[in-house]
Chain A
């Protein structure tokens, strides 16, 4: 199968790849770049475990081709921590026990990142609506909502 050369800016670093057009973005990140923080939980764009930011917008990377990210910026969970300091969202999830098994957590945090960028002071309803494309089986969502409220009260870096 023919391949195509792409360059994707991932967490601020240009990353090159020689990929089949059918390669999903999530597999490019996980397998070609060995960045396994982004997870796969379904194949129907339902669970949100694979959520990353593409040019600042939260997308499900199981439903985007790597070639669609060519020349664009992708941010993953690995890009949240800056200079050894956790992002306010990571801090919120830790402080409020917003994670248990940790599998949905990266996608949940990336959705939160986009949510807070668009709506810095969300209501509980805004938060619940904002994360409704991300499934969590462990937490019952209560502490995820609290974690996002915690983060929203801290200034963005």
Chain B
């Protein structure tokens, strides 16, 4: 199967066609249905009182003034929830998180109480009127200090806990790696900090919870990327108060961007559900932007010490990472359960190392919890940034061009399937092909000449490469689960008598265009025009169970389920066609849309004729109807890859980094819709640029957030974002039914080191070895001043 020549006609619109998106029709007219658009009769509004302190004992909550406001109906506190044992909840990583505190707060912006009122404005008035007395406690902000002996122990709720250490995790061959380092000709070492950031989807988080006291059914419209898992979590957590799973319906309506930030269960959701159960009224909670940036799940926050060992001829031999992970006050990361550091051990990247070892220690601090992905598959961005930075530092130390060094050490096409030192089996790849194309597209050799000329004149220009390997599509049930639920995904496909179809999936689009691309997968398999295939997701009462959309898993897992369900349908349709044509099944050939008799192509039955017969003239003994369900357990992960090259110019007067050009060559295997794939890459690149140059959430020594609004947290606008230049190579996944790999996050993973490498490349001759992202003008200007070249 090739991604460049579609097998189906444009009218059918199977794989490889850039058909326009079905979902656009409602969004263009302002008729999307997002959570805040849900309005129910008698609906109440919830607003949250939040802590100004990062660590403090709560001595008193006085709700009397709030309750005196007309329209304020209740103030929900931790003490109230405690009566129902709902004041704490489990996290996805088997830690515990406060819904509302009873004794103390653990981060600035933490939920302290919630006001229930008849309108949004009155609820906000109520929040202002709740008086909370705090007794400040010592604040622990720095994860290194948090792990020192004698540090203030934060999790006093955990019996016997005497430090702030959460877990230790390691992978690889420690002894072999140590020996390789001891014997190496060249070693390089670098501390690399990947700062805390927030996905800042343009829609914040929120929900409308409606508990119907008559039938005991709870319906929750919520901003969730994983509605089915959420339903099960609710049933497990609130079973003791009478919510059983068949009476819980989670509806994930249109989602205004997810990027991992809408995977966790936030306290606001739980409080809204509790408030609805207590009152019997629908309750709406919508986070505002400042709450979103200050308290919703963070991403990254990894302090990495990376080391690379090799030979002077450029052979890279061994890799070693020691990492401190700052998790905030609880481990509420969204990772597969068996992998507390996610897939961080993809860190050997695109290179054929002989030895590798890594260890990660996680720490509690007085910061919000999180550890979600920010558009990447479980800590892959952290790994890719570190390896791609280290490769560049190594290249420069031995005086080799970074492109040549990469090519020398790439896993070669004939080495696939390739077993990495950390145990992953890479499915397919052609890394040299992608880098060669990127170098050709950008004119690499000419740029190096230009750089030399500019450097002679004192101008600062840099060229940066990133040749990343992604790891997505979690995942095979043997290794991947969330709270024990295996990470399969699903499709339920029903063909109507007139040959049209409806397909429901266990995932949930947040802008990826599933209504279009899933229809294209089924169109490819059955020849039914994509425009006649309705796709639905997000309603747990109607869709089959699946683990949701994150970690680029929709195409690798649910997309595969769609193809497999369609093949089951086709198998049954073949039996019907054989019956109608009065031939044996083996005598039939298939082309998209019809079966025909081998050697007599005029004798044929279309899929639509077969569908009609399934309901009107089914073969004797055959069950009527034409539908199929597939729960797809992937045999392996998929490994998209690419090579990105970035050119930057640096202003010596301001320290401003200008991205002059950025060429992105991606390989995501076979492509379903080229237009949508390009759109995903454009967006991913912008979310790679953002942390590379602009975004960071940090804290002062008292745990006060710096950058808790969009005035300070710099989401790039159209002015900062360059015109991306994209291209593709195509190396299909050998184990995926349609040879696809997933693409939504590749660019976010691959872009930051290309930019950082370009900046360091521009400054290396001045003695600059590394700059932590975000590479802001003040940081660069301070370096220029230190080196005596600032203007």
Contact = CB atoms under 8 A, between A and B. Distances in A.
Contacts of B675: 97
A94 B709 CA distance: 31
Contact of B255 (A76, A90, A101, A141): A101
B513 A104 contact: no
A41 B204 contact: yes
B21 A97 contact: yes
Interface string B672-684: 0001101101111
Interface string A26-50: 0100110011111111111011010
A22 B512 CA distance: 38
Q: Which of A23, A47, A104, A141 has the most CB of B within 10 A?
A: A141
A97 B676 contact: yes
Interface in A6-36: 20, 22-23, 27, 30-31, 34-36
A2 to B, nearest CB: 14
A144 B719 CA distance: 13
A104 B34 CA distance: 12
Contacts of B28: 80, 86, 90, 93-94, 99, 102, 105, 109
A94 B28 CA distance: 8
B355 to A, nearest CB: 38
Contact of A76 (B30, B709, B710, B723): B30
Contact of A94 (B20, B39, B204, B721): B20
Contacts of B255: 101
Contact of A47 (B20, B681, B710): B710
Nearest to A20: B121
Nearest to B511: A101
Contacts of B679: 97, 100, 138-139, 143
Contacts of B573: none
Given A138-B683, A142-B723, A100 B29 contact: no
Interface stretch (B195-203, B235-243, B557-565): B195-203
Contacts of A139: 679, 682-683, 686
A135 interface: yes
Contacts of A47: 202, 289, 710, 715
A131 interface: yes
B257 interface: yes
B711 A100 contact: no
B148 interface: no
Contact of A104 (B36, B199, B202, B709): B202
B34 A137 contact: no
A44 B709 contact: yes
Interface string B272-315: 00000000000000001110000000000000000000000000
Interface residues of B, number: 56
A99 B285 CA distance: 26
A124 B722 CA distance: 11
A105 B121 contact: no
Contacts of B678: 97, 143
A142 B724 contact: yes
Contacts of A27: 120
Given A44-B710, A135-B202, A138-B683, A37 B30 contact: yes
B676 to A, nearest CB: 7
Contact of A37 (B23, B31, B121, B288): B31
A76 B31 CA distance: 12
B564 to A, nearest CB: 27
Contact of B721 (A39, A86, A140): A140
Contacts of A86: 28
B510 interface: yes
A65 B421 CA distance: 61
Contacts of A35: 30
Interface residues of A, number: 59
Contacts of B686: 137, 139-141
B346 to A, nearest CB: 24
B687 interface: yes
Nearest to A127: B718
Contacts of A136: 202, 718
B715 A34 contact: no
A72 interface: no
Nearest to A42: B289
B27 A137 contact: no
B685 interface: yes
B511 A102 contact: yes
Interface string B14-27: 00000011011011
A78 interface: yes
A130 to B, nearest CB: 8
Given A41-B202, A94-B20, A101-B255, A140 B30 contact: no
Nearest to B720: A132
Given A105-B28, A137-B683, A139-B683, A43 B34 contact: no
A26 to B, nearest CB: 11
A139 B685 CA distance: 9
B288 A43 contact: yes
A54 interface: no
Contacts of A141: 682, 686, 717-718, 721
A128 B718 contact: yes
B256 interface: yes
A150 interface: no
Interface string A115-157: 0000000001001110111111111111111000000000000
B254 interface: yes
A81 B30 CA distance: 10
Contacts of B24: 93-94, 99, 102
Given A46-B709, A76-B30, A137 B682 contact: no
A138 B710 contact: no
B31 to A, nearest CB: 7
B37 interface: yes
Contacts of B37: 30, 36
29 contacts: A20-B121, A31-B120, A38-B30, A42-B289, A42-B710, A46-B709, A46-B710, A86-B28, A93-B28, A94-B20, A94-B24, A99-B27, A100-B683, A102-B254, A103-B32, A103-B202, A103-B256, A104-B202, A105-B27, A105-B28, A128-B718, A129-B718, A132-B717, A135-B717, A137-B715, A139-B679, A140-B683, A140-B724, A141-B686
Given A140-B684, A141-B682, 17 more contacts: A43-B709, A44-B711, A46-B709, A47-B202, A90-B29, A93-B24, A97-B675, A100-B511, A102-B28, A104-B202, A104-B256, A133-B717, A135-B715, A135-B717, A138-B683, A139-B683, A141-B721
- 7 nearest A-B pairs in the assembled complex, by CB-CB distance: A37-B30, A103-B256, A102-B27, A101-B511, A140-B682, A100-B511, A46-B710
